[in-house]
Amino acid sequence: MKSKVKFGCRIFLAANEPFQQIIKRAQFCEKYGFDSVLIDDHLLYGTGAAAAPEPFTTLAAIAAATRKIRVGIAVTDLVRRHPAIIAQTLATLSNQFPKRVFLGLGAGDPMNQTPFGFSAKHRVSRLEEGLKIIRQLWNSSIEKPQNYKGQFLSLNNAYLQAGQEKQPVPPIYLAAFGPRMLRLAGEAADGWIPHCHTPATYKMDLDTIIGSAHNAGRDFGVFRSAYYTLSSISKNRKEADRNVLGPARYFLALIPEALKKIDPLANHPGRIWENISNPKEQREIIRKIAAEIPESDAYNTVIHGTVEDSIEQVEDYRKAGCKEFMLTFTPKGGLWSTTGLLDQIRLFSSKVMKK
């Protein structure tokens, strides 16, 4: 790469796998030179092929079993988790693993909120207030108690005793997509971690973030602009295409705003599954929507193909302003398949990351 970009790998635990397998994947990524590993925060998935372990305890286990690789959640939300608990948790992890922890925050997914009695309303406002509270609590002590009064959240002479004032603050990435979230990323976050972008739409949204950062008087030079995307690499282009097409369509089905941004003429009925309570019916509707997503739209948002293809695509996003790639490798068998997964990670490391 002409200027150094960083590479992270999203790792997971498949259904019925021993917990140790997610640790082994993190160790493998560290061995092969990845800068970071990241894990999801889900209570449930839209498939029975996945396991959904509690992410912060999982993150601690991963960090304890590795030496230097950065570890993070991409992403959690402040609907299911109170920002004071997030601040305490990140402070504790930072004490254990200084300068190795990062946090991804988003507005959250109603499919992981409403089944458990969490209201999906006002998700962005809750995030905006919660981000302020996290910052305040990382700067708190008994000598500096914090106060805050928002529409949804408040502090009343609150402070943490997790040793957070002695540690560097972990960087916070926002999974921002809409105009309001993009502005918030520029005003208050340390990084950006979207998915479902072409290089052109990535640059367009990053320009919005840069403008917001400048308006807020912030130094954009230290901002961490990342891209969370799927990747499938093979010596055979058609094989890589087959591996990545289904999951890439599924992601775009889940985010109709993303599809509209990259292809204004594409059809999408909107988030109609959010009005259906039966999870199996929800999954089936999303699958039907995904099947209608144009192939070209799916391919244009991911890193896929041969080594040469992947190098070219990474370079296109780098030119658009991306500094970090957070990759979900999709081997034969789908998003949660482990068949050939480590081979893909090894190939990408040796032939793309080393360029």
Length of the chain: 355
| pTM exceeds 0.85 | yes
Please give the torsion angle defined by the CA atoms of residues 174, 175, 179 and 185, in that order, rounded to the nearest 10 degrees: 10
Sorting pLDDT into bands at 50, 70 and 90, what band is 276? confident
Q: Find the mean pLDDT for residues 253-257.
A: 93
Please provide the average confidence, as pLDDT, over all residues in the chain: 95
β pairing state of 70-77 and 172-174: unpaired
Fold type of domain 6-353 = TIM Barrel (3.20.20)
- What is the C-alpha to C-alpha distance for residues 209 and 220, in angstroms, rounded to an integer? 9
Sequence-ordered strand ranges (E) for 93-200: 101-106, 146-149, 154-158, 172-174, 191-192
For residue 3, what pLDDT is reported?
A: 58
**What per-residue string of b and e applies to 178-200 under the rule 16 or more CB within 10 Å gives b?**
eeebbbbbbbbbbbbbbbbbbbe
Sorting pLDDT into bands at 50, 70 and 90, what band is 155? very high
Contact 196, 266 (CB under 8 A): no
From the number of C-beta atoms within 10 Å of its C-beta (0-12, 13-18, 19+), residue 132 rates as middle
Q: Which residue has the higher pLDDT, 168 or 13?
A: 13
**Helices marked H in 43-192:** 55-64, 83-96, 123-138, 179-188
Residue 192 pairs in a beta bridge with: 174, 225
For residue 275, what pLDDT is reported?
A: 84
Please state, as a whole number, how many other Cβ atoms lie within 10 Å of the Cβ of residue 308: 11
Please state, for a pLDDT cut of 90, what percent of the chain lies above it. Answer: 87
Q: For residue 2, is pLDDT > 50? A: no
Using one digit for the tens of pLDDT, what is the confidence trace for 313-340?
A: 999 999 999 999 999 999 998 899 999 9
Backbone angles phi and psi of 250, in degrees to 5:
-65, -45
Q: Find the mean pLDDT for residues 174-194.
A: 96
Nearest to 328 by CA among 249, 241, 227, 260: 227
CB under 8 Å to 324, separation ≥6 — which residues?
A: 5, 6, 7, 8, 35, 36, 191, 224, 225, 226, 227
Sorting pLDDT into bands at 50, 70 and 90, what band is 110? confident
Helix axes 237-254, 279-291, angle to 10 degrees: 130
Using one digit for the tens of pLDDT, what is the confidence trace for 26-77?
A: 999 999 999 999 999 999 987 889 999 999 999 999 999 999 999 999 999 9
Sorting pLDDT into bands at 50, 70 and 90, what band is 1? very low
Nearest to 228 by CA among 303, 169, 300: 303
